[in-house]
Amino acid sequence: MSYKFLNLALRQRLLKRWSLMYSMQPESVLEHSAIVGILSFLVGKIAQQNGRDLDLSKMLSHALLHDISETITGDVVTPVKRSSDTLYAEFKALERTAEQRILNTTPPELHQAIEEAFNPGGIEQELVKACDIYSAYLKCRLEVAFGNSVEFGDALARMEEAVKEVCGNYPELATLHHWFGEDSDCSVDHLITSSQ
């Protein structure tokens, strides 16, 4: 029997994020998930080194699949999702339904692992959400650095506040921000020469 999960997951590359805004650097949902995966790896390692008990594999699985429901629902921007509590609850229910449909495209041997990756719970899911927010902050910073403050200036201001909040809640993210945040909108020449 042929299962559709992998090809459905890879369709995330066709889904454009920030769809209501003009982007200098378009970003797909698949790219975003990879960025959240990299951030989650770093934050998870920092957390472990600081003595936090967490399952890094669970974190990475969730990071890679956290937006897979959008292959069915499409990417709905956060300001629309959060415009009312009722609408947000409806979107969450829609995402759960989409996840169940996606789960049905996997072999039974993988059901449990993929279902856990969708919603692992615990600190792993919390830290991935924090990395998701940080990814949006990095995107806004990059767009503004490219001169796109008309579209992303207000979003950057909101994301800076959100990053302050998550850094206050999660010291591992504050460490990541301290170590890597300053150069997030620099040229490759600067990134390479400053490391010598």
How confident is the model at residue 45, as a pLDDT? 99
Confidence of residue 1 (pLDDT cuts 50, 70, 90): confident
Task: Answer whether residue 30 shows pLDDT above 80.
Answer: yes
Angle at 75 between CA 72 and CA 80, to 5 degrees: 125
| HEC profile of 90-126 | HHHHHHHHHHHHHHCCCCHHHHHHHHHHHCCCHHHHH
Domain total of the chain: 1
Residue 152's nearest CA partner among 166, 137, 164 is 137
Rounded Cα–Cα distance for residues 138 and 184 (Å): 7
User: Residue 74's domain spans which residues?
Assistant: 5-193
Residue 3: CA count within 13 A, CB half-sphere = 14
Contact yes or no for 12/33 (Cβ under 8 A): yes
Q: pTM for the complete prediction?
A: 0.93
Residue 22: CA count within 13 A, CB half-sphere = 6
Contact yes or no for 170/131 (Cβ under 8 A): no
Total residues found in the chain within this entry: 196
Task: Answer whether residue 195 shows pLDDT above 70.
Answer: no
pLDDT tens track for 97-154: 999 999 999 999 999 999 999 999 999 999 999 999 999 999 999 999 999 999 999 9
Residue 185's nearest CA partner among 152, 146, 156, 150 is 146
Q: What is the CATH number of the domain that holds 83?
A: 1.10.3210.10
Query: Residue 58 has which token pair?
Result: 């669970």
Rounded Cα–Cα distance for residues 63 and 74 (Å): 18
pLDDT tens track for 74-88: 888 777 888 888 988
How far, in Å, are 1, 97, 129, 150, 161 from residue 102 at the CA level? 16, 9, 21, 37, 34
- For 49, the enclosing helix (H) or strand (E) is helix 29-49
Lowest mean pLDDT among 27-31, 92-96, 117-121, 163-167: 92-96
How confident is the model at residue 31, as a pLDDT? 98
User: C-alpha 70: how far from its chain's center?
Assistant: 12
Backbone dihedral angles phi then psi of residue 186, each to the nearest 5 degrees: -100, 165
